[in-house]
């Protein structure tokens, strides 16, 4: 009996090995193998220093690079690199200039650029190159980052906007409003930047309204222009070329190039404090809010997605849909994903199968 049981166990193990080998062959050549929602048994992928097994208490930024690697920017734990199988945390002890990540982008050479609270970092996959006021930055506290079509890096600092051409930083002066909104810091702070399809650079400022730079002239839009607020925390261009603004205190403003249309709680938005905007593959817009979770807009109605177990403050500062279709939300309390109508916490131990 014992011998038969042993043979049966060996046979089952052989079948599982063969099956695993067949499954791996089904993965298209050149694609990234993800296992986000299956428990891995790989060694050296568990991190005991992760608080409560979450990636971080606050996921400020989510970004997917060209290779399909996900980068999670945290509020004080540096950046987490996740390739679908393993997680790697990079922080100041590894050469990163600052541990609070406020922006992530990738250049044409595959370098990852990180806007932090202590300067700008470029990561080439092996080492960091850091830039601070010693290199020409207006201020070391960065709040936004943009890579334009020419390959220039734009950063919004506590003391204004800098562009970097690979050799030198240049200052871009933005006009101020005479009667600004109530800023957190000052009008020179740019919370968000985008380059639209025409090559214009848009800036969402801290109380100074919306700015558009066409390469020669800076145009200013404010509440006098029809916007709901002068505190612009997020700027986004959708697939039709419409510009959307997330504001602090005024909800959402939609700009079609001629007039602004505003949306607030009366229209179904979960909070008038909107920190980030994202468009999914179905062209639905997602708005990450402070205290109201995430609101999804299908063009007609809003639907709210919240964490319902009371373990977060329902602040959502980052949203990203990866190449496999997983929609991630960076909450105050950890990483979450949307499954149908549900919001599910994905702790670090689940990502790597600890």
pLDDT of residue 353: 61
pLDDT at 13: 42
What confidence score (pLDDT) does residue 150 get?
95
Q: What is the domain partition of the chain in residue ranges?
A: 33-352
Indicate the fold that domain 33-352 takes in CATH.
Answer: Methylamine Dehydrogenase; Chain H (2.130.10)
Closest CA to 349 of 33, 24, 63, 51: 51
pLDDT surpassing 60 at residue 8 = no
Which residues, at least 6 apart from 201, have a Cβ–Cβ distance to it below 8 Å?
A: 146, 148, 154, 193, 194, 195, 212, 213
Closest CA to 248 of 311, 301, 312, 180: 180
Task: State the first-to-last Cα distance of the chain, in angstroms, to the nearest integer.
Answer: 35
How high is the pLDDT of residue 53? 81
C-alpha distance from residue 183 to each of 19, 23, 323 (Å): 59, 54, 37
Tokens for 183, please give them: 């800023």
pTM for the whole thing? 0.85
Place of tokens 């060209």: 66
**Which tens digit of pLDDT belongs to each residue from 115-165?**
999 999 999 999 999 999 999 999 999 999 999 999 999 999 999 999 999
Nearest to 208 by CA among 236, 254, 177: 177
What is residue 351's predicted lDDT score, i.e. its pLDDT?
Answer: 84
User: What is the rounded CA–CA span in Å between residue 153 and residue 145?
Assistant: 7
Helix, strand, or coil here: 206? strand
The pLDDT score that the predictor gives to residue 65 is: 98
Confidence of residue 43 (pLDDT cuts 50, 70, 90): very low
Sorted by sequence, the CB contacts under 8 Å of residue 83 that are 6+ apart come out as 32, 67, 68, 69, 70
Q: Tell me the mean pLDDT in the region 318-339.
A: 96
Q: Is 126 helix (H, G, I), strand (E, B) or coil?
A: coil
Q: Distance between CA 325 and CA 339 in Å, rounded? A: 11
- Check residue 15 and give its pLDDT: 39
Compare 53 and 304 and report the one with higher pLDDT.
Answer: 304
The model's pLDDT over 211-237, given as tens digits with 9 standing for 90+, comes to 999 999 999 999 999 999 999 999 999
Please state the length of the chain. 354
pLDDT beyond 90 at 37: no
Work out the average pLDDT over 4-19: 42
The tens digit of pLDDT for each residue in 288-301 reads: 999 999 999 999 99
Q: How far apart are the C-alpha atoms of 247 and 275, rounded to whole Å?
A: 7
């Amino acid at each position: 009996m014992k011998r038969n049981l042993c043979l049966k166990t060996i046979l089952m193990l052989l079948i599982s090995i063969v099956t695993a080998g067949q499954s791996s062959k089904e993965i298209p050549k050149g694609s990234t193998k993800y296992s986000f929602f299956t428990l891995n048994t790989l060694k050296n992928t568990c991190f005991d220093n992760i608080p409560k097994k979450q990636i971080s208490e606050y996921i400020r930024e989510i970004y997917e690079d060209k290779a399909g690697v996900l980068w999670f920017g945290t509020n004080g734990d540096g950046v987490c690199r996740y390739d679908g199988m393993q997680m790697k945390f990079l922080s100041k002890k590894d050469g990163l200039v600052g541990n609070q990540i406020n922006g992530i982008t990738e250049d044409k050479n595959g370098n990852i650029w990180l806007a932090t609270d202590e300067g700008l970092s470029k990561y080439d996959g092996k080492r960091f190159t850091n830039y601070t006021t010693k290199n020409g930055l207006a201020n070391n506290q960065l709040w936004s980052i943009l890579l334009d079509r020419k390959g220039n890096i734009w950063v919004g600092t506590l003391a204004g906007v800098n562009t970097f051409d690979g050799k030198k930083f240049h200052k871009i002066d933005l006009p101020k409003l005479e009667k600004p909104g109530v800023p957190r810091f000052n009008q020179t702070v740019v919370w968000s930047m985008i380059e639209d399809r025409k090559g214009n650079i848009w800036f969402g400022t801290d109380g100074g309204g919306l700015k558009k730079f066409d390469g020669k002239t800076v145009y200013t839009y404010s509440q006098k222009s029809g916007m709901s607020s002068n505190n612009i925390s997020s700027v986004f261009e959708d697939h039709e070329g419409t510009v959307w603004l997330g504001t602090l205190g005024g909800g959402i403003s939609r700009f079609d190039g001629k007039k602004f249309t505003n949306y607030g709680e009366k229209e179904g938005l979960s909070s008038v404090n909107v920190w980030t905007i994202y468009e999914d593959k179905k062209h639905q817009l997602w708005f990450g809010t402070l205290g109201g979770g995430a609101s999804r807009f299908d063009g007609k109605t809003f639907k709210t997605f919240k964490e319902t177990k009371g373990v977060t403050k329902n602040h959502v500062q980052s949203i990203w849909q990866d190449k496999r279709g997983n929609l991630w939300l960076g909450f105050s309390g950890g990483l979450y994903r949307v499954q149908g109508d549900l919001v599910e916490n994905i702790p670090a131990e689940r990502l790597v199968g600890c």
